Structure 1
Amino acid sequence: MSAAGPSEATLRRLERASGSLATQAVARMDDSLPWFRSMPADQRSWVTLVAQAGIASLVEWCRHPGRPPRLTGEVFGAAPRELVRAVPLKQTVDLIKVTVEVVEERLGQVVEPGEAQALRLAVLKYSREVAFATAHVYASYAENRGAWDARLEALVVDALVRGERPEELPGRAAALGWAATAPVLVLVGHTAPDVDDHHSAVRRAARSLRADVLVGVHAHQLVVVLGGLPDLGPVAEKVSAEFGPGPVVRGPAVDSLAQAGDSAAAALAGLRAAVAWPGAPRPVDADALLAERALDGDPLARTALAQRVAAPLEAAGGGVLDTVRAVLGSGGNLEASARALFVHPNTVRYRLKRATELTGLSATDPRGSWTLQVALALSALDGGRSLWS
């Protein structure tokens, strides 16, 4: 300090009283800050250390006025970085305010005669420096945490895209705030060419509906993992608007993040095959693209068609499969199909209803008839010749 600053005798007295002042400051915090009383004992002890280090740093700051302040390390280095995560910035400001108030109130106990005003001015200036240091600590933490979260999120999404299931996957996601259990689904599409920050836009859309979300960008593909709500349909609809031009494919819902790789695999296969359905809705379910996926060489889609479509129709009996074949062959003409089968048109309608119940597909619907045709053709190619006998 200048010649008008506190004397060395005052600074020594302040230095000796630093422990007592810190204890009194913590006691004041306990009385005036309800949230402080609920803090764990270890965090309260860290606050005491920071307060004591702050007072000691004040003494050094007064002794060496020409030295640039290094408050970030001198003061906040007294506590682990966990304290930044445990205490929000606003509460830290409250702690500093209480500590400064206690020091100002106890000045009369430590100053030499006639130096109270000089020390009070020093405390005022020093508290401003501490405020700047506090802002720096929290800004640095936020920046580092943001960069770490981005890397961690990229690792999680990349593992899902690759079909990996590392044991640490749930823990990594939990560190990012992921709390969802079931259901979980994956959306994939192309990135928007005029958007620099796809992550923020997608997060805003998903979190506006209170959904958990993870976002990854792979080349020009945008991969979004959604969870946290019983019905993710509305979230998928809203998030789809943040994708670039082209199809957006929604993978099937799975029971947990550990199984989200299955949803991602189906969605990515659907994205590759979606070019074969130009009029697909957006988003479109990966299961609605089973026919296109199978023709594109997706073995999972081919297996799904065999198990969900061909096999149930074969096992149905009662002419259900023959009726489906006839209707497909007649272009959906029920009367012509009835004549070919020598049955009443109502019998055709009944059998088609049964086929729809078994497969979820209607032979009179354009998409349904297309998927049925592909499923039955692939089944025959796989050796199911008896289906056509």
Structure 2
Amino acid sequence: MSTRERRRPSSETSRAVDRSAGELVTLAARRMEEHLGWYRDLPAAERSQVGLVAHAGIAQFIEWFRGDEDSSPSAISIFANAPQELTRTVSLRQTLDLVRTVVGVVESHVETLASPGDEQLLRESVLRFSREIAFAAAEVYAGAAEARGAWDARLEALVVDAVLRGEADESMQSRASALGWGDVAHVTFVVGTTPLVNGGAAAAVDTLRRAVRHERVEALAIVQRSRLIAILGGTEDPLAVVSAVAHCFGDGPIVIGPTVPHLFAAGRSARAALSGLSAAAAWPAAPRIVESQALLPERALAGDVPAQRRLIDQVHRPLTRSGQLALLTTAETYLEAGRSLEATARALFIHPNTVRYRLGRIDDLTGFDLTTPRDAWAARIALVLGRLAAAPRMTRLSTTGPLEETSKPAPTTS
């Protein structure tokens, strides 16, 4: 008898296996109920779907066993009745547990199902079938993960684009919720240049996502032109996170926007970070990782109106409040005198220690230390912007007379 003939089951074994289908399905369901906790915890509808998969698996084995065993069993018929959403509920590991359970049921009945001499053949057939189905299940889950990943990437790009455009509408909320960002707090916008890596933009984004996940932080990431953009969620120390993943960005500055309460307020963080990235070139000594707040002077000079207002609110407005005239005069004089204590004291007819005291008060009031070059420069810009904002606006230049103010009505002609 040839090898091919010896591998074929007897007709008695084939009929016995065929007749046992209902009993095997019942026993498989009972064993899943007894040994698989995740199966017991499933809602009724999803338990029914898992049961259909187990039933289809046994039916597929019987058909394959009595047919041509040289062909590979098909996973299509097993998973055909299961909705795609089942791969979200039941993991690949749980699916393999399901396969082991069904195989164990069939194996436990080998002695009663196989005719004398067919026991080893039936046992080997069960093992081969379980191996093939396990690989087929992995392929199904890989395909589902790939499709889900492509869809999630599309949603991610739409959410980040909505943040960039400041469109926190219902569609953005729905997409963010689908990505699991509905309740994410402490959101920070980060932008830098895209690195030159094999695989292009997709590889750069994947590398950044993996690095951020390693820091146990949520992240949305896309590449927009030459910029690599990330929205971090769930961290109150974005500077530490960005420092840990800075190698994922290209050369040049990485700008961190202010942290906002949730994703739907991230537009403010995005505008500040993007403005900072555009203005960072004006500060050659800037650190590679820099917060947008530290770039307020450069952003203001570049025409960023929110940055101008922020500087005015931080420096000019506190110093022009009632009772702060001495501090304002000291700040202006100190900056005009080239940050010289003695020159300032002489100009104001006060002691240098008084100047030191007032500079300390200015630091406490504004957060700017005028004794340091950068803070002094930023404060000087803030005071200039404040004076410009407070001055009357000039509307036009007359060729025969002085500038006309907007507060004066234009002369009428008859």
Please report the TM-score for the alignment, with normalisation by the length of structure 1: 0.90
Per the alignment, residue 364 of structure 1 pairs with 371
Per the alignment, residue 308 of structure 2 pairs with 302
Residues 70 and 121 (structure 1 numbering): CA distance in 2 closer, same or farther, change over 3 Å? Answer: closer
Of 223, 232, 245, 1:226 maps to 232
The one-letter code of the counterpart of 1:381 is L
Q: CA RMSD in A?
A: 2.6
Alpha-carbon offset, residue 83 of structure 1: 2.4
Residues 82 and 16 (structure 1 numbering): CA distance in 2 closer, same or farther, change over 3 Å? Answer: farther
- Is the 2:280–2:298 Cα contact (8 Å) retained in structure 1? yes
Matched, 1:376 2:383: yes
The separation in 2 between residues aligned to 1:65 and 1:2, in whole angstroms, is 11
Per the alignment, residue 41 of structure 2 pairs with 38
The separation in 2 between residues aligned to 1:195 and 1:343, in whole angstroms, is 65
The separation in 2 between residues aligned to 1:187 and 1:179, in whole angstroms, is 20
Per the alignment, residue 405 of structure 2 pairs with none
The separation in 1 between residues aligned to 2:107 and 2:243, in whole angstroms, is 58
Of 269, 279, 285, 1:279 maps to 285
The one-letter code of the counterpart of 1:50 is V
Per the alignment, residue 155 of structure 1 pairs with 158
Q: Higher mean Cα deviation, 187-196 or 106-115?
A: 106-115
Per the alignment, residue 411 of structure 2 pairs with none
The separation in 2 between residues aligned to 1:343 and 1:168, in whole angstroms, is 62
Matched, 1:201 2:216: no
The separation in 1 between residues aligned to 2:248 and 2:172, in whole angstroms, is 26
SS of residue paired to 2:185? coil
Residues 282 and 179 (structure 1 numbering): CA distance in 2 closer, same or farther, change over 3 Å? Answer: farther
The one-letter code of the counterpart of 1:262 is R
Q: Higher mean Cα deviation, 92-101 or 197-206?
A: 197-206
Per the alignment, residue 65 of structure 1 pairs with 68
The one-letter code of the counterpart of 2:276 is G
Higher relative contact order (CA 8 A, sep 6+): 1
Of 23, 26, 30, 1:23 maps to 26
Per the alignment, residue 52 of structure 2 pairs with 49
Q: Higher mean Cα deviation, 260-269 or 221-230?
A: 221-230
Per-residue CA distance 1:174-226 (angstroms, 9 max, x = gap)? 43344763321111111122464222332333233322122111111011111
The one-letter code of the counterpart of 2:226 is H
List alignment gaps of at least 5 residues for structure 1.
Answer: none
The one-letter code of the counterpart of 1:31 is E
List alignment gaps of at least 5 residues for structure 2.
Answer: 393-414
Per the alignment, residue 338 of structure 1 pairs with 345
Per-residue CA distance 1:89-136 (angstroms, 9 max, x = gap)? 222222111211211222455556765554444333322321221121
The one-letter code of the counterpart of 1:104 is E
Per the alignment, residue 137 of structure 1 pairs with 140
Alpha-carbon offset, residue 274 of structure 1: 0.7
SS of residue paired to 2:320? helix
- Is the 1:61–1:67 Cα contact (8 Å) retained in structure 2? no
How many equivalent residue pairs?
A: 386
The one-letter code of the counterpart of 1:248 is I
Per-residue CA distance 1:34-80 (angstroms, 9 max, x = gap)? 44333333332222111111111123323542895562320012222
Rg: which structure is higher? 2
For residues 86-235 of structure 1, the aligned pairs below 5 Å read 86-107=89-110, 109-110=112-113, 115-178=118-181, 181-194=184-197, 196=199, 197-235=203-241
- Is the 1:179–1:212 Cα contact (8 Å) retained in structure 2? no
Aligned residues: percent identity?
47
